[in-house]
Chain A
Amino acid sequence: MLVEALALSAVLFSIGVIGVLTRRNAIIIFMCVELMLNAVNLSFVALSKLYGAAGQVFVVFTMTVAAAEAAVGLAIIIAIFRHVKTVNLQNINLLKG
């Protein structure tokens, strides 16, 4: 059971990484980041069986932070969209020297 859960977590995490690296749409990248977070959550939960409840606590903690992050991140993306009418990251290079 543990092995399957960890394998699923690894697959999800890899999908998230590949998504972050290859996609250009800010929303999708954002969702991939969430995916990576949740993959980590999954492995926390799976490993709590072995190492105690601390893993479960950490998941709650992560989900709280992820919620805050989602709020701020989506707000920024919306702001950027209002500003440049796109969420394609390749076109958002105003800060580049």
Chain B
Amino acid sequence: MNPALIPEGAHPLAATVARFVWLLPLLPLLGFLINGTLAMLGAAKVGPADPSADHGHGHGDAHAQDDAHGHGVNGHGAHDDHHPPPRHKFAGIVSLIGPGVLLAAFGLAVACFLAMRGVEMEHPYVVTLFQWMPVGDLHLDASLLLDPLSMTMVLVVTGVGMLIHVFSVGYMQDDPGYPRYFAYLNLFVFFMLTLVLGASYPLLFVGWEGVGLCSYLLIGFWFSEKANADAGKKAFIVNRIGDFGFLVAMFLMFANLGTLDIGRVAAKAAELPFGGVVITAMALFLFLGCTGKSAQIPLHVWLPDAMAGPTPVSALIHAATMVTAGVYLVARASGIFSMAPVAQLTVASVGALTALVAATIGLKQWDIKKVLAYSTVSQLGYMFVGVGVGAYTAGIFHLVTHAFFKALLFLGSGSVIFAMHAAYHHTHNHDDAQDMRNMGGLKQYMPITFYLMWIATLAIAGIPLFSGFFSKDEILASVFARVSHSTLAESSLLGIPGSTVLLIVYGIGLAVALLTAIYMTRMMLYTFHGPNRTGEGERPHLTEAPWVMTGPLVVLGVLAAIGGWINVPELLGAIGPVGGLEHFLEPVVGQASLRTTLGAPPHVAHQTELLLVGAAIAIAITGIAIAVWRLKPAALVPKKEAPASTGISRVLENKYFVDEGYDAAFVQPTVSVSRAVLWKGFDAGIIDGLFVNGSALLARAFGWLGSQLQTGQVGTYAWVLLIGVITLLGAFTLR
């Protein structure tokens, strides 16, 4: 387990292409630098030498020069003409470099993967680039860690990332901020690769915060809308609350284990007392970080708002990669979590609760991206259930398949929004291009998108042989298997025995599967089936997106369909490698998994397993059936004619009023206390007013007293003199 034992050069991977692993993050970084430079060159107009020369009076050219980012697909800027604005002058080269660096990185990742298949991966391959923070007892290097877990993530990030980059070429084609967009996207991939490849927790943290930063920049990409800028800021600040937890976890590691290196931490953590306070606190604080990044309760509020960004961003960052970083972190720190069953139960319970809450909200959302956003939160909850119960492979497996089908769903919705927006643009209509009540019957206008999205829907609902079925089933099976005979079952959470907690989690998992099937079918029905509600004038302009966008969709469609075959259960051994991913990840998480299951692989009787699988399939089909049976797309009316909802629907539509609650409980009090009490009251009032200016006033008062003795009136002096003389005379004579 200790990577220090294997010198860099002695590792079998050192002789292969994997020694160029540092190129993986470097390529997107280069892309960022080039695209960023082009963005600056395109937008900037250097000011005059004397900036104060003529200020104040407005110049019209500011308007014309860059009529803002409102031209973007989601923007609602006022448009005067039917012709798309001219493409950005650097659009050609940016379209080449942006996706190009990703393609190169993906190629390298595949090469590394093949190399890794060819060698024995008993130890991770650590490449040290340079000394980073050599301070005192802290010897932090900038090192990359390549092992099966990071390899899996790298493949997902570069592969899905590349497809989304290609899709963006079409989606963002008319945006004035085209180079800026690709610069941010490249930067994001750079940080994401730093996150998954970082060999120490601080370096991982660099990537962790870096992706948050890119998320902030991309959510607020069309920053002229206050709502978008708000959403970006909210995402960053909520994430920072999680980062606080991550930081504290690192403090605990350094103080108790003396190192922050991932491998050494895992080795040393095993020496701490099992289930002790320190290790549990460490795991819980790490998990606080995960709740921020992966939008789990109570920090889930930012992700739905993050849909303000361009849709490919939602697909890449807020579905496929960044938000799954928390799941990755738990798997990465499996050595810590497996030592703290209470923390594991917390992870699983929070995951289950989040999955349930988000799925119920997803039932009543009208914005197509909001449905998908809550679906993402819910599926992330699933993943945490997996890694929480110590089934790290299952969690990562769901992470991979989710990346496929959720990216497909988001890109598909992007393609729908693209078509809707183009249609509204033609008729100068300012209706909501993302509201499902304005859609309906789109299957005849965009058949490719329609079929592909159904594949993804079946995958997420858990219909057999589609990718989501395998991963979701494995998570549920893992939970069930640990109800007895595991460290979790023997532990307890808040006084509830672990086995009971796991049973509840399992039950919630089944319920969420049902809800998932319902809300996804609802989304498909309202979007693609039934009559069209877009509007008479707009209808003729609804068309399928260009090939540069549908191409990536097709690839993702294939992956969403068969992506689950990389890790099939024994029952279905005929179609693919049994436990393929399981074996691949075994060197990284195997030991930790076994610790949770008391040294023996989890075992469930064959018949029980069949029963469980059968139940899951039945639930998925029931869900779809309920949705088809109960929902009537034909009865829907467009958004502007729809009545306001009431009762439970209203609560769900408003996300249980959590945002409002947080605002009233935390945000407003902080601001008003800071303003009224701390600043105006304490700082300006007591410290500055009373003490600082008060002491000045006191000095003045004494000065005034003194000045009264020196009026400058000679007469007064003479009187004082006379009185003095008389007093003295009197004193001498009367003595």
Contacts and interface: CB of A to CB of B under 8 A. Distances in A.
> A and B: direct contact (Cβ < 8 Å)?
yes
Interface in B703-721: 707, 710-715, 718-719
A21 B719 contact: yes
B722 interface: yes
Contact of A17 (B710, B711, B713, B722): B722
A21 B715 contact: yes
A89 B712 contact: no
Nearest to A22: B715
Interface in A61-97: 89-90, 93, 95-97
A41 to B, nearest CB: 20
Q: Which 5 A-B residue pairs are closest in the complex by CB-CB distance?
A: A96-B712, A21-B718, A21-B719, A20-B718, A93-B712
Contacts of B722: 17, 21
A93 B713 contact: yes
Contacts of B718: 20-21
Interface of B: 707, 710-715, 718-719, 722
A96 B711 contact: yes
Given A17-B722, A21-B722, A97 B715 contact: no
9 contacts: A20-B718, A21-B715, A21-B718, A21-B719, A21-B722, A89-B715, A93-B713, A95-B712, A96-B711
Contact of A89 (B710, B711, B714): B714
Contacts of B707: 97
Interface of A: 17, 20-21, 24, 89-90, 93, 95-97
Nearest to B725: A17
A65 to B, nearest CB: 20
A96 B713 CA distance: 8
A20 B712 CA distance: 16
A21 to B, nearest CB: 5
Contacts of B712: 93, 95-97
Contacts of B715: 21, 24, 89
A89 B712 CA distance: 11
A95 B714 CA distance: 12
Most buried by B among A21, A93, A95: A21
A13 B710 CA distance: 27
Nearest to B710: A97
Contacts of B714: 89
A79 B713 CA distance: 19
Most buried by A among B710, B715, B718: B715
Contacts of B713: 90, 93, 96
A20 B714 CA distance: 10
Contacts of B710: 97
B115 to A, nearest CB: 90
A96 B722 CA distance: 22
Contacts of A95: 712
Nearest to B716: A21
B724 to A, nearest CB: 13
A95 B712 CA distance: 8
Nearest to A93: B712
A48 B715 CA distance: 33
Nearest to A95: B712
B727 to A, nearest CB: 15
A20 B719 CA distance: 9
A78 B713 CA distance: 20
Given A17-B722, A21-B719, 17 more contacts: A20-B718, A21-B715, A21-B718, A21-B722, A24-B715, A89-B714, A89-B715, A90-B713, A93-B712, A93-B713, A95-B712, A96-B711, A96-B712, A96-B713, A97-B707, A97-B710, A97-B712
Contacts of A20: 718
Nearest to B711: A96
A13 to B, nearest CB: 12
Nearest to B714: A89
A73 B707 CA distance: 28
Contacts of B719: 21
A51 to B, nearest CB: 22
A24 B715 CA distance: 9
A21 B707 CA distance: 22
Contacts of A96: 711-713
A16 B711 CA distance: 23
A91 B71 CA distance: 78
Nearest to A20: B718
A89 B711 CA distance: 13
Nearest to A24: B715
Contacts of A93: 712-713
B556 to A, nearest CB: 87
B105 to A, nearest CB: 79
Nearest to B719: A21
Contacts of A97: 707, 710, 712
Contacts of A90: 713
A96 B149 CA distance: 87
A90 B714 CA distance: 10
A96 B710 CA distance: 9
B722 to A, nearest CB: 7
A4 to B, nearest CB: 22
Nearest to A18: B722
A73 to B, nearest CB: 13
A17 to B, nearest CB: 7
A74 B713 CA distance: 20
A27 B430 CA distance: 94
Contacts of A89: 714-715
A17 B715 CA distance: 11
A17 B711 CA distance: 20
B378 to A, nearest CB: 79
B549 to A, nearest CB: 84
A1 B710 CA distance: 44
A24 to B, nearest CB: 8
A45 B58 CA distance: 94
A74 B715 CA distance: 19
